[in-house]
Structure 1
Amino acid sequence: MSRTGATDDGDELLIRLGTLTAQARAQAEVQRSRVELAIALQRGMLPRGLPVAEGVRLAVRYAPAYQGLNVGGDWYDAFTMADGRIGLSIGDVQGHNIEAAAFMGQVRVGLRALASVDSDPGELLARTNELLLSLSSDLFATCTFMRLDPATRVLESARAGHLPCVWATADGRSGVSDDEGGPPLGIQHGVDYPVTRYRLDQGGVFVLLTDGVVEGPSLHLDEGLEQVARLAGVAAVARLDMDALAAAVIKQAEQVGHEDDAAVLVIGHDGPAFQP
């Protein structure tokens, strides 16, 4: 082969490498833009403030975990309803991409909007389920919705395929709720979601969370929930600030062994006992 032929082959190879490099850079830029958009969607959909009510203490933590396009759709929400009660939700959309983040926004907004029509947790999840099915999306979401009456400290809860909540009382008792739930939102029509009623004892706490906090290759779900229950029990006995408890719970996400979103919503009460 002549020197000229070898030079031509080398030039062609350099041109091909340059083209591939440019394409890789363009794809990386698209990926980066999509991740930034997904993160913006996530953060934009989270509430900017939490409701305030006498004796009620709320605290939240949210840790988005992302690698490449692996951005999830976990969320929490808390808002005051028209009748003065507080609506609380936490959930997780199937999938880890920009579509999951966008779908999360639809679920959260749907819950808020429908809560103004029917605030019963079971009916609210049923209505939201039908709304999501009407969108004909391939995605689904797990969710827990609670309605808290600050005056009576009664918590009404319904679950759609989501993790049970953790509870603790000021006398040191703690555990994981065993309430009945329904299937995730967006899977089948005509589903009923049972409602379970709790009482938020003075000095007690409830912890709502997503599976990124308590489950992964390095931590079994039951073990993760038990660890959160122990943390909640210690916090209730020691009368720790709810923010401190939320921070301790979200730190547990470091033990699960994978990168995933993690959300925590803590509900506490430190006011005087209710007199009927």
Structure 2
Amino acid sequence: MTGENGSHRSGPRVGSAPEQALHHATQQIQELVRAQGRMNSLLEAVLALSQDLELSAVLRRVVTTAMDLVGARYGALGVLHEQGGGLSQFIPVGLSQEEIGDLTGIDHPTGQGLLGRMIHQREPLRVQDIGAHPDSAGFPPGHPPMRTLLGVAISVRGRVYGNLYLSTRHDGLPFDVQDEEVVTALAGAAGMAIENARLFEEVRSGAERFQRLLLPRLPDLSPFDVAAVYHPASEGRHHLGGDWYDALMLPDGACAAVIGDVVGHDLVAAAAMSQTRSMLRALLYDRGTPASRVLAQLDHTLHAITDNPVTTACLARIEPADHGWDLCWSTAGHPPPLLLAPGREPRYLEGEPGLPLGVDAAFDRPDHRCPLPASTTVVLYTDGLVEHPRHHLDRGMDALAEVAAKHAEGSLEDLCRALVENAPGDGHDDVAVLALRTPAVVPGEA
């Protein structure tokens, strides 16, 4: 456009200084927005890492979280040998089923090539072309093609625990400085999460050992056969509990068996379990009274000298009888015994359960009696074996009976193991199982 004097008017042109400044400011704003979004993602990722306490789950979450942060298709975590030199564990993530099939028979990396370089240095490593790198050792047959690499060390207590590897951004671009910075920040949080998981496993292992030491070693109960299994909770953060069992021969010739469950999942519950079991054993051995009276005396004693939590229990006496044996039992709010008689379907010995211990010592509990043929198995168990929050209790009881029927004729050790391994419960609670089998001949024949 020309003016009156025929000269061209000067106006802003594309690429002029004002437009360049505006374009630059727009880019900065976009970068800030992206940086803010990535920071929020990083904070969410750090919080997510703290949710798991199982070490295997933490390690895998570290890889998947890093992949999400930088948009990587593949990721892996290599855990170093404690003695140094090589990888003790390699956790790959992102491989398709077809890619996994192509690698069948191929061992996991042991720490050669670029992975070996990462083992011996703490600095992050960014590679735009893996094949062209002088330290590259190549890929095994069937390995998916990978060109770019971002590697960051993960330290625990100042010592390199392992290395995090990422490859192939979804947008096809190489990893940049921002990717390196965000993954390095994540690696710091990952080190703390891994340390927490390791400490949790140490505490859990020590707690499980402590609880097993509190449980009795079953004595020789000849002519009866006996077996028991205790299994800590497999779900959640609590691996201590109040489940216990006991069995012993009494001076009057009866065989006593008991199983119980103290409410709670902590050291208090475990200590209360030990205290209650010891009191009950003393009362059992001292008094040849019905099971209900023993439970009543135990309840009065607990009320008088302890502040133990509420406890459920099932106490049984197997007494000689003319026809064989009688099972005499009483329960304090506990699930009923399961009876496995030769040639018969499994059945629960239903009866009024009575109040749990620690509720009201003034209420009496009923006694129940049932004849036991030769080679009959009585199974006592805690509710963690059958309870599931999404299923009715009857469903768990029926499933337990089905498993018991399949293993009723085998050894008691195999029976207890099968009941725990195939438990219909959800694993949120610890489990105890006690199985007692009458001799193959009745007392008179013996």
Q: Establish whether TM, by shorter chain, passes 0.5.
A: yes
Q: Does 1:185 align with 2:185?
A: no
Q: Is the 8 A contact 1:149 1:155 kept in 2?
A: yes
Q: 2 CA distance for matches of 1:186 and 1:200? A: 31
CA distance in 2, matches of 1:188, 1:167: 30
Change (3 A) 1:247 1:28: closer
Q: Which moved more, 1:184-193 or 1:265-274?
A: 265-274
Please say if residues 73 and 101 of structure 1, whose CA atoms lie closer than 8 Å, have aligned partners that are also in contact. Answer: yes
Residue 133 of structure 1: CA displacement?
1.1
CA contact (8 A) 1:31 1:69 kept: no
| 1:21-40 deviation digits (Å, cap 9, x = unpaired) | xxx99999997786566434
Contact conserved, 1:174 with 1:232, CA < 8 A, in 2? Answer: yes
DSSP-derived class of the 1:153 partner? strand
Pair 1:244-2:422 in alignment: no
Rounded to whole Å, the distance in 2 between the matches of 1:51 and 1:83 is: 16
Bigger shift: 29-38 or 163-172? 29-38
Q: Which runs of 5+ in 2 are unaligned?
A: 1-192
- Shift of residue 210 of structure 1? 0.5
Question: Are 1:88 and 2:252 counterparts?
Answer: no
The answer to whether residue 336 in structure 2 is matched with residue 164 in structure 1 is yes
| Aligned equivalent of 2:232 | 64
Residue 369 of structure 2 aligns with an amino acid whose one-letter code is: R
Note if contact 2:221-2:255 (Cα within 8 Å) is conserved in structure 1. no
Rounded to whole Å, the distance in 1 between the matches of 2:208 and 2:257 is 22
Note if 1:129 corresponds to 2:287: no
Counterpart among 341, 362, 366 of residue 194 in structure 1:
366
> Does 2:268 match 1:99?
yes
CA shift, 1:70, in A, is 4.5
Alignment CA distance shift 1:63-1:135 (3 Å):
same
Larger radius of gyration: 2
Provide closer, same or farther for how the CA distance between residues 104 and 193 of structure 1 changes in structure 2, counting only shifts above 3 A.
same
* Partner Cα separation in structure 2 for residue 270 and residue 219 of structure 1: 37
Residue of 213, 231, 235 corresponding to 1:44: 213
Which whole-Å deviations, capped at 9, do the CAs of 1:131-186 have from their partners, x for residues lacking one?
Answer: 11113426110000111125742211010000111112211222111112210001
SS in 1 for 2:422: helix
When residues 139 and 32 of structure 1 are mapped into structure 2, their CA distance, relative to the original with a 3 A threshold, is: farther
Aligned 8 A contact 1:51 1:86 in 2: no
**Kept in 1: contact 2:407–2:418 (CA 8 A):** no
Counterpart-to-counterpart distance in 1, 2:197 and 2:406: 46
Segment drifting more, 221-230 vs 31-40? 31-40
- 1:60-88 CA-partner distances (Å, limit 9, x unpaired): 11101265445211011111222232211
Shift of 1:233: 3.2
Query: 1:173 maps to what in 2?
Result: 345
Distance in 1 separating the partners of 2:355 and 2:308? 15
Unaligned runs of 5+ in 1: 1-23
| Native 8 Å contact 2:291 2:329 kept in 1 | yes
Q: Give the AA of the match of 2:372.
A: L
Residue identity opposite 2:400 in structure 1: V
1:224 is paired with a residue whose SS is helix
| Cα separation, 1, equivalents of 2:376 and 2:334 | 22
Q: CA RMSD in A?
A: 3.0
1:74 is the counterpart of 2:243: yes
Aligned-partner Cα distance in 2 for 1:230–1:36? 32
* CA drift at 1:274: 4.2
Q: Which residue of 2 aligns with 1:113?
A: 282
**Under a length normalisation based on structure 2, what TM-score does the superposition of the two structures give?**
0.51
Greater relative contact order (Cα < 8 A, sep 6+): 1
> Structure 1: which amino acid aligns with 2:291?
P
Contact 1:51 1:78 in 2 (8 A): no
**SS at 2:336's partner residue?**
coil
Deviates more, 1:34-43 or 1:129-138: 34-43
Q: Is the 8 A contact 1:41 1:102 kept in 2?
A: no
Contact 1:90 1:265 in 2 (8 A): yes
For these two proteins, the number of residue pairs brought into alignment is: 254
8 Å contact kept, 1:167–1:229:
no
Please give the alpha-carbon distance, in whole angstroms, between the structure 1 residues aligned to 2:218 and 2:337.
22
SS in 1 for 2:226: strand
Q: CA deviation at 1:57?
A: 1.6
CA contact (8 A) 2:207 2:239 kept: no
**Structure 1 residues 129, 106: CA separation in 2 closer, same or farther (over 3 Å shift)?**
same
